[in-house]
């Protein structure tokens, strides 16, 4: 069972910006004559979403503990409601997390893949 996203950390993107990249699920190959053919690779590759959220110092500490310790630096999956559909959804981190300090707040950028 996946760990739950901590309620102290906002999962909804700052200023309502939430970017979804709908990943293709096909392979394309050339044929002798005509346009390339496509074959389905898998049923659902999982959409990759980019998130930018603003954290205070307490939320930053909570996020660091959740990411580094609970999720073993993002290798484990987690559960949180989808910010658009509000359905309980399983996710996994993709790539690295970026934190930028701006006086009293932290800008936190990361990507996640929707699993369910």
Residues spanned by the domain of 64: 3-21+46-114
| Residues 6 or more apart in contact with residue 103 via CB below 8 angstroms | none
Residue 30 lies in a domain: no
Residues 57, 106: Cα–Cα separation, whole Å: 7
Show Cβ contacts of residue 19 under 8 Å, excluding neighbours closer than 6 positions.
49, 50, 51
Does residue 64 sit within a domain? yes
Buried b (16+ CB within 10 A) or exposed e, 64-90: eebbeeebeebeebbebebeeeeeebe
Domain membership of residue 31 (yes or no) is no
Beta bridge partners, 34, equal none
Report the number of distinct structural domains present in the chain.
1
DSSP 3-state of 19: strand
Is residue 108 a part of any domain in this protein? yes
What SS3 state is found at 73?
Answer: coil
What pTM was estimated for this model as a whole? 0.77
Tens of pLDDT, residue by residue over 18-77, are 777 666 666 777 888 888 887 776 666 678 888 888 999 999 999 999 999 999 999 999
């Amino acid at each position: 069972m996946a760990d739950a996203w901590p309620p102290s950390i906002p999962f909804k993107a700052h200023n309502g910006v939430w970017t979804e990249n709908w990943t293709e699920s096909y392979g394309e190959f050339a044929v002798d004559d005509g346009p390339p053919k496509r074959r389905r690779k898998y049923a659902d590759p999982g959409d990759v979403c980019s998130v930018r959220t603003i954290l205070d110092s307490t939320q930053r500490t909570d996020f660091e503990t959740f990411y580094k310790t609970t999720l073993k630096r993002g290798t484990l999956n987690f559960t949180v409601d989808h910010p658009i559909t509000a359905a309980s959804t399983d996710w996994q981190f993709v790539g690295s997390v970026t934190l930028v300090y701006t006086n009293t707040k932290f800008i936190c950028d990361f990507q996640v893949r929707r699993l369910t």
